[in-house]
Structure 1
Amino acid sequence: MADIRVQVCHPLPHEARLRELVLAEGSTVRDAVTASGLLPRFNPDDCPVGIFGKKKTPDTVLRDGDRVEIYRPLVADPKDARRRRAVKKDRAG
């Protein structure tokens, strides 16, 4: 069986942690996150994951060159943030 090269990225508030891995062909997103060591207790229910910005399931089979991304919870709801900016702009204008 051939090997594939993938990256696993875990963004933190002040840095992005990146690991490059060589895995067996047929490996999944879950395999990559576990092998990266970035999340010692990986729970896909708590940490959504994706490949190149598109949400995927932990059972998604990887392809050579994929970048697995571990998403963290949002600090603020984007819709609420937009509303606050709009109100602030109206008051200033």
Structure 2
Amino acid sequence: MAPVDNPRPLPVIVAYSAGPRELDMVELSLPPGSTAMDALNASGLLARHGLGSVDQVTVGIWMKLRPLDTLLRPHDRVEIYRPLKVDPKEARRQRYRKNKA
């Protein structure tokens, strides 16, 4: 008998933080060969948070920037990054000035 070609689904998580201490995560089971773009489209997070289209967001996998055509591996976490409101260096300066006073 020939082996049955039944590829296992690919478990991944798509995560987005709309603000400090807010986290919206969606667990997905995608077909093998799926990309970060496939995960974003399947998650529904873009529409739920009004983030626009897939090509308007910056994404990463496990805290490393990755292009949308990156192939996913089992248990990857695709992260949608929001733009910074304040430059981290400037925020540090402001905290220093505030604590110094």
Amino acid at match of 2:38: D
After TM superposition, give the deviation of residue 87 of structure 1 in Å. Answer: 3.1
Matches within 5 A, 1:42-57: 42-44=53-55, 46-57=56-67
Structure 1 gap segments, 5+ residues each: none
1:24 and 2:31 matched: yes
> SS at the partner of 1:39?
helix
Q: Distance in 2 between matches of 1:88 and 1:16?
A: 28
Q: Normalized against structure 1, the TM-score is what?
A: 0.85
Contact 1:47 1:71 in 2 (8 A): yes
Count of aligned positions: 90
After TM superposition, give the deviation of residue 16 of structure 1 in Å. Answer: 1.1
Match of residue 9, structure 2, among 3, 6, 10: 3
Match of residue 77, structure 1, among 62, 65, 87: 87
What are the superposed Cα offsets for residues 33-53 of structure 1, whole Å, 9 maximum, x if unpaired? 000011134333x31000111
Q: Normalized against structure 2, the TM-score is what?
A: 0.79
Moved over 4 A (4+): none
Q: Distance in 2 between matches of 1:82 and 1:15?
A: 22
Percent of aligned pairs with the same amino acid:
47
What are the superposed Cα offsets for residues 52-84 of structure 1, whole Å, 9 maximum, x if unpaired? 111111010000000000011112110111122
Q: Which residue of 2 aligns with 1:86?
A: 96
Larger Rg: 2
Structure 2 gap segments, 5+ residues each: 1-6
